[in-house]
Amino acid sequence: MEDKYQQFEKRFGISFKNRGLLEQAFTHRSYINENKNSGLEHNERLEFLGDAVLELITTEFLYDKFPEVSEGILTAYRSALVRTETISRVARKMGMNELLKLSKGEARDEGKARDYILANTFEAFLGALHLDQGYEVTKRIVADLLFQEIEDIIETGSWKDSKSRVQEYAQEAYKETPRYEILSATGPDHDKHFTVAVYFGDKEIARGEGKSKQQAQQDAAKNALEKEGVFENK
């Protein structure tokens, strides 16, 4: 009888030579902390590798697909394609949520924190796939699952810089310059998690989260635009 990992492989037409790598890709640090004698390793090194592989594959795709588009806009397209919101959605579609090895506490949280875990897991999976199956197989998987998102990203204008749009809106509607404040920064240096609030004057408009200050500010800006009813493709 096939286990859940074999079913996952079969669904995407792959077969890992090293099954331990595949299982490691889905193993969160919290699971290891709670199961110290499991004999498993967490997925953070694989995530580090997969992040770089994903960036290269995405960069090649955009460079070839949009030969007339400037470097600055290509960078914005890439950021939109590989951001947490996009790749966590792809990870859910792939069924990764059901394969995660998490602590009991993390397993109960299905909110935004789960999206960050899924995005990191997607990158860890790509790192494992690259090591086990090579670049071309990894490129095929990314192309099949992620590249279709670019049309919607362009159509909705979600690739545009949210902070720039917030600045324009705040000055037009409130005569204020938006201000960003870090509310919290948690986690070890290699895996920080920031929460940021954006203010118009003294009024807090929205909050955002991310793995860097810049990412959290962009998330806060995007949430502010949604809250204020401003669409980024206007």
Give the sheet arrangement for strand 193-200, strand by strand: 178-186, 193-200, 203-210
Q: Where are the alpha helices (DSSP H) in 66-198?
A: 71-82, 84-94, 104-108, 112-133, 135-145, 149-156, 162-173
Give burial (CB, 10 Å; 0-12/13-18/19+) of 50.
Answer: buried
CA 88 to chain centre: 6
Contacts of 193 (CB under 8 A, 6+ apart): 116, 185, 186, 187, 209, 210, 211
Among the listed residues 44, 106, 123, 209, the single catalytic one is 123
51 tagged catalytic: yes
Per this entry, what is the length of the chain? 234
41 tagged catalytic: no
Among the listed residues 51, 55, 161, 228, the single catalytic one is 51
> Would you name the residues annotated as active-site residues?
51, 123
